[in-house]
Amino acid sequence: MEKRNLSAFQMGVLMYPTVLATGFLALPTITAQSAKNDLWLTCIFASFIGLLTIYMAFRLHELYPGQTLVQYSERILGKLLGKLYIFVFLFYILNTSGTITRQYAEFVKGNFLFKTPITIIMSFMILLCAIAVRGGVEMLARCAIIFTPIFILPLFILLLLIPDLDAKQIFPVLSHGLIPVFKGSAQPIVWMSEFFLISFFLPHVSDPEKGKKWSYISLCSVTLSLTYVNLLSLFLLGPDTGNKIYPILVAFRYISIGNIFENMEALLLAMWIVGNFIKISAFLYVAVHSLRQWLHLSDDRHITFPLGILVVVLGIWDLPDSSKIGENLKLGLILIPSCLALIPLILLIIAVLRKQRTTDEGESSL
């Protein structure tokens, strides 16, 4: 049994940057490419998947209290299938951590530290994350409590852009029907399904009865923040949103109040670093934790740094350029939601059916 040293509130705060960190920078442009000026609707649609994944994580945890995805999937699917699924899941989580680290470093190198080698940027971030992960889930939670405000505040600084915003850009609403919006929702769904990672934190939560409430609050704030960021890029950049690699970077650069408050992108960089620190740490924590439980190791301290190195390697391997990273994101459209939403859904259905049968059998044997 794990120590229960995480409060539900801390978990909610931890999930906010874990889901949002890369999303607010990448999603406006990705969703604008298909949904055009209806991009603000995409995150609202995608949040339903977030709702579903949180519900599933809680239901599964109710059925198998104190257990993580790794443990109960073995019990639900049987030893062989369960182990196989967790292997795929581990591969996914390590690969995703690699991609996130790479995305983080690409942004830093492409816009700020032009001369610093990307390996250095990635390795130092992973080193920091690995140290945090070694400190355990409580350390992660405390980091999240400290850093999340720093992560949120710069979003409000974007309000300085109000004189440059043109709210008319939102019209005409849904002129091409709902299909482009659904297509645009595909990417936010990837981010929203990351909420399933709470299944790894739930066994540690000391007040599980509040867990649901804080998870939903976390989901709501993520949806609101993403919609806010989407609307802001639309109002500022209009038809140009889909053409920018980082619309929010442009937004921060565009701030100019009285020729004094200018060149604010350093704030975005600060926000990007703390947000991604939490995100990568959470992913690395999940990877370390699932590997430990998968192999039934007694301690996870020995595997943290090796897995960290593996994440850096995965972030460099097979990702020769940013265009390939974009391609892989599209591939992730299928892999990630199926790992984090579809298979858990199957797990839940099997588990519920089984529970029903055992209670039925129990009743009939009486």
Q: How many CA atoms lie within 13 A of 177 on its CB side?
A: 2
Output the six-digit token pair for 284: 């690395």
CB of 355 to other proteins, least distance (A): 50
CB of 112 to other proteins, least distance (A): 7
Please say whether the beta carbons of 250 and 244 come within 8 A: yes
Output the six-digit token pair for 177: 């029907």
Spatial separation of the C-alpha atoms in residues 207 and 270, rounded to whole Å: 32
Smallest CA-to-CA distance from 153 within 55, 281, 264, 294 is with 264
CB of 323 to other proteins, least distance (A): 15
Q: Which residue has the tokens 């939490």?
A: 278
Smallest CA-to-CA distance from 119 within 129, 100, 106 is with 106
CB of 253 to other proteins, least distance (A): 6
Q: Which is nearer to other proteins, 63 or 113 (CB)?
A: 113
Q: Which is nearer to other proteins, 3 or 302 (CB)?
A: 302
- Paired strand residues for 261: 257
CB of 35 to other proteins, least distance (A): 15
CB of 232 to other proteins, least distance (A): 14
Q: Which is nearer to other proteins, 111 or 338 (CB)?
A: 111
Q: Which is nearer to other proteins, 156 or 171 (CB)?
A: 171
CB of 36 to other proteins, least distance (A): 11
Please say whether the beta carbons of 164 and 236 come within 8 A: yes
What are the residue ranges of helices labelled H in the chain? 8-20, 23-35, 39-63, 69-77, 79-111, 118-134, 137-157, 179-193, 198-201, 208-237, 247-254, 265-295, 301-316, 322-337, 343-365
Q: Give the other-Cβ count within 10 Å of 176's Cβ.
A: 13
Q: Which is nearer to other proteins, 207 or 240 (CB)?
A: 240
Spatial separation of the C-alpha atoms in residues 263 and 256, rounded to whole Å: 8
Taking CA atoms, 85 is separated from 13, 75, 137, in Å, by: 29, 12, 24
CB of 124 to other proteins, least distance (A): 8
Q: Which is nearer to other proteins, 172 or 320 (CB)?
A: 172
337 preceded by cis ω (within 30°)? no
CB of 174 to other proteins, least distance (A): 9
Instruction: Give the interface with other proteins as residue ranges (CB under 8 A).
Output: 110-117, 120, 124, 168, 171-172, 175, 236-240, 243, 250, 253-254, 256, 262-263
Q: How many CA atoms lie within 13 A of 242 on its CB side?
A: 13
The DSSP letter of residue 7 is -
Q: Which is nearer to other proteins, 37 or 221 (CB)?
A: 37
Q: Which is nearer to other proteins, 250 or 274 (CB)?
A: 250
Q: Which is nearer to other proteins, 245 or 335 (CB)?
A: 245
CB of 255 to other proteins, least distance (A): 8
Q: Which is nearer to other proteins, 236 or 288 (CB)?
A: 236
Spatial separation of the C-alpha atoms in residues 28 and 249, rounded to whole Å: 11
